[in-house]
A and B are shown apart, each in its own frame.
Chain A
Amino acid sequence: MKTHSSTGSLAAWSGYRINLVGLAAFSVVLFWALVALFAPYITPHSVGEMIDLDYFGPMRPGLWLGSDYLGRDMLSRIIYGARYTVGISLAAVSIACFTGVVLGMTSAVLRGPVDMVVSRILDAMNSIPSKLFGLMVVAAVGSSIPVLILTLSVIYVPGAYRFSRALAINIDTMDFIMVARIRGERLPYLIASEILPNIIGPVLADLGLRFVFIVLLLSGLSFLGLGVQPPYADWGALVRENIGGLPFAAPAVIVPSLAIATLTISVNLLIDNLPQKIRDRSAS
């Protein structure tokens, strides 16, 4: 109720109750999305150019976020890193969750042999260590952004599948699903219209969590030289390559960490505070 007074007029205008925390989180996510989108136009220096004579330089005019271990401009590297971290992770998490959730709901509705076959195949995939799988794929087909996106999403499909299948099975036992079946409804309607609206909350929360995992795995792969290729680097890779600056409290290691933190926390806060539709029509 606390947010009511502050966003009362906004709520009355849009018909949605908008939470201040959600609004703040949305601004941060939007900020990073814009940064990623317009990266080439706003970077003050080239990503690979060594412009500072010192390494791990402090923040100062012209080098607003200091310099990295080779004396490159940190601000430009963060701006370009946003492209990889936001873009790759968002694409991968979308593919992973969409595939996993659709398969999970399908298995829960159809049961029987379909459920059996899909579950066992995904269990088998789940048993392969994720980094090893990434290594194998990159060794086989080489590293490129589409390959990275697909690899990351394949790794996270089984988890999303298990999660949504467990939720959907609970919903599937309700009478309204039985009513829809007796009406003669087909699979796409059952999963999209009857089950999904009832599990969307936990599924979105899971998506936020998986987004964080993917950001971390991507930075791990980049560290091994399998991710984004130098001189470009995603935020995870920026942390890893500048880890030597930690004893000097260099901004080069702190700033990318903060960037990851703001993005991942904001994504989760946004998902927990999505606007809610107000259905009390007589209020306005």
Chain B
Amino acid sequence: MTNLVEIRGLTVEATTDSGRWIKILKGIDLDIAAGETVAFIGESGSGKTTAAMTLLGYARPGCRISGGTVTVDGHDMVTLSEKDRAALRGTTVAYVPQSAAAAFNPASTIMEQVIEVTRIHRLMPPDEARRRAVALFRALSLPNPDSIGDRYPHQVSGGQLQRLAAAMALIGDPKVVIFDEPTTALDVTTQVEVLRAFKAVTAQHRIACVYVSHDLAVVAQIADRIMVLRNGAVQETGSVHDILTRPAHPYTQELLNAFHPDTGGREALPAADSGAPLLEINTLSAGYGPPQSNGQPLVLAVKGVSLKVKRGTNLGIIGESGCGKSTLARAIAGILPACKGDIQFNGKELWHSARQRSHDQLRDLQIVFQHADTALNPAKSIEDILGRPLTFYHGLRGKARDARVDALLDMVRLPRALRHRRPAELSGGQKQRVNFARALAAEPKLILCDEITSALDTVVAAAVIDLLKELQRELGLSYVFISHDLSVIEAICDEIVVMYRGQTVETIIPANRQQPQHPYSQLLFSSVPKLDPTWLDTLNIDADRMRVA
């Protein structure tokens, strides 16, 4: 018998701007049976998305499929004409993108976009398509399945939008669905719901899935087999159980080790209470919108938060999206001036607005943004991006500046040759490291890290965390670490603050092996995926009920 998907000797090449072709996929072989889920796992830049895209017969601009065959349901996607490929896309093979928010058109309703596939391929009359869409919404356990289609994309949450993107892919009754990191942008409590919905629907329709991810724990829940990729070559293919228990290839072992970040070696709060705290915040409130009669902004995102960061220690702030953790970071950095409360930094009172702060105060307190894509100027080279704070804060020029840029690239483990590239030519992980190196260039005392590892794969994230620890020892830095990823926060922070709806609900000190008390903290802690493949099925939490509590 033949398999639903057969990939033989697949190679993909990319061109550089001087017209040179480089192999980015080096001979991949894979079979997928009907109803089977295969996960492509690997670090950013390993070619996992490129490999998944070839199932659609698609190579990104500047790339080409240069050899091998990709047979999907009897059709060779490599040799088909573009018109024939288009006929198969959406009906035989469908795609769920990483960022559903960017994949939806904000100007038309969700229903119109979900049933668009049936209109293009003339699969069924619109009324029937709508009925089918509602059935899919119900199967994906979306709230209000009958009316959610009438809303616009900005009126639903990120997790819901991701499930709606899956509905869009499933409406044409495809045999193969490609999920491209569909839960990477979601927080853990939402991720659980989305994974459950995907698993139920694909099992019900016996759809073969390709699940692209860098998160081994998520993959363990959803996949039957795992293919480990690195530098465009397959390292290892095996069942989930084999890969998790008996990883043969060193890279796979590294991947598994990265999942257990080194939490040891941290003494419980060094020299507690000695000296003044580096950062102290008292009843800080901040929000958005025009000021009201009581002097507060229209929407208060942070409500009277107090916290302390001691010199040389790290504070973790954790919470779901919308809980105000990023707003808090922006208020501390002075981007969004707080409306109430006070910020003491390095023994001095800080102005609420960054404009009024002194040169040295700005230098000592750096912020690293979540999205390296928008935080790096696409028109400038890495050299210019890293060099500017050196010139601006330290007056370095010429050779001294070049040497320091090299040192910074070494520090964040990037090849020095990267300095001439532009951000668009780097992978996501590389961009985030440049983003971090720019903050280091200022030689600050405190770095606010706003979800800096959420876009990175586990190996790179673990490497970045190790790097942060090392730099902390060398430079005496402190971090305020904002994340929705508990394992990252536990690995590096001496103290964890759980935020919920703009307030801090609990402070946890990991060194004390303290168990969370607040119901929301409990939900958050139990939602972190475990490597155990049965974790999702046995997980017994009702997110909605917990959230109301």
Residues on A facing B (Cβ under 8 Å):
1, 4, 8, 11-12, 17, 174-176, 178-185, 193-194, 197-198, 200, 276, 278-284
A276 touching B417 by the CB < 8 A rule? no
Top 7 nearest A-B pairs (CB, nearest first) are A197-B379, A283-B18, A280-B16, A175-B375, A175-B374, A280-B18, A176-B377
| A284 nearest in chain B by CB position | B18
Chain A interface main SS type? helix
A198 to B362, CA, bound (A): 26
Contacts of B333 in A (CB 8 A): 182
- Tell me if B17 and A281 are in contact (CB < 8 A): no
A3: shortest Cβ distance to chain B, in Å? Answer: 10
Whole-angstrom distance between the Cβ of A98 and the nearest chain B Cβ: 19
Q: How far is the CB of B394 from chain A (nearest CB, A)?
A: 12
> Which of A175, A178, A200, A283 has the largest number of chain B CB atoms within 10 A?
A175
- Identity of the chain A residue whose Cβ is nearest the Cβ of B15 in the assembled complex: A1
Can you spell out 17 A-B residue pairs with CB atoms less than 8 angstroms apart? Answer: A11-B18, A176-B376, A178-B369, A179-B375, A180-B388, A181-B354, A182-B362, A184-B354, A184-B392, A185-B392, A193-B388, A194-B377, A198-B378, A276-B17, A279-B17, A279-B421, A279-B425
Choose among A175, A176, A276, A283 the residue that contacts B16 (Cβ–Cβ < 8 A).
A283
> Is B433 part of the contact surface with A, judged by Cβ < 8 Å?
no
CB A244 to nearest CB in B, in angstroms, measures 52
Chain A neighbourhood of B421, CB < 8 A: 279
Instruction: Determine if B438 is an interface residue (Cβ-Cβ < 8 Å).
Output: yes
Question: B residues touching A (Cβ–Cβ < 8 Å)?
Answer: 15-20, 333-335, 354, 357, 359, 362, 367, 369, 371, 374-381, 388-389, 392-393, 417, 420-422, 425, 438, 442
Which of chain B's residues have a CB closer than 8 A to the CB of A198?
377-379
A194 to B369, CA, bound (A): 17
B residues less than 8 Å from A280 (CB atoms): 16-18, 20
Contacts A182-B354, A279-B17 known; A197 to B377 CB distance under 8 Å?
yes
With both chains docked as a complex, state the minimum distance between the C-beta of A4 and any C-beta of chain B, in angstroms.
Answer: 5
Q: Give CA–CA (A200, B377) in the complex, Å.
A: 14
> Which residues of chain B are within 8 angstroms of A284 by Cβ–Cβ distance?
18
Contact of A183 among B17, B362, B376 (CB under 8 A): B362
B17/A176 in contact, CB under 8 A = no
| Bound complex: CA A11 to CA B357 (Å) | 48
CA distance A194 to B385 in the complex (A): 10
Partner of B420, one of A8, A175, A276, A281: A281
B334–A1 touching, CB < 8 Å? no
Output the nearest chain A residue to B378 by Cβ-Cβ distance: A198
Inter-chain contacts of A183 with B (CB < 8 A): 362, 388-389, 392-393, 442
- Bound complex: CA A174 to CA B378 (Å): 11
Find out whether the CB atom of B17 lies under 8 angstroms from the CB atom of A278. Answer: yes
Chain A nearest CB, measured from B188 CB (Å): 24
* In the complex, chain A residues whose CB is within 8 Å of the CB of B16: 280, 283
Interface contact B19-A281, CB-CB below 8 Å: no
> Which residue from A17, A194, A200 sits with its C-beta under 8 Å from B17?
A17
Inter-chain CA distance A198–B376, complex, in Å, is 12
Known A-B contacts A179-B369, A183-B392, A184-B392; the reply to A1 vs B19 at CB < 8 A is yes
**Contact assessment for A184 and B420 in the assembled complex, using a CB-CB cutoff below 8 Å:** no
> What residues of A have a CB within 8 angstroms of the CB of B417 in the complex?
281-282
CA distance A200 to B362 in the complex (A): 30
- Tell me the nearest residue of chain A to B333, going by C-beta: A182
Partner of A197, one of B334, B354, B376, B380: B380
Interchain nearest-CB distance for A17 vs B (Å): 7
Which residues does chain A contribute within 8 Å of B379, judged by CB atoms?
197-198, 200
Q: Give Cα A4 to B381, complex, Å.
A: 24
CB–CB B367/A182 < 8 A? yes
**Whole-angstrom distance from the CB of B138 to the nearest CB of chain A?**
38
Whole-angstrom CA separation of A8 from B19 in the bound complex: 9
Which A residues are in CB contact (< 8 Å) with B442? 183
Q: Which residue of B lies closest to A174 (CB)?
A: B374
| Contact A182-B334, Cβ < 8 Å, known A280-B18, A280-B20, A283-B18 | yes
Q: Which of B362, B375, B376, B378 is in CB contact (< 8 Å) with A184?
A: B362
User: B425 to chain A: which residues have CB within 8 Å?
Assistant: 279
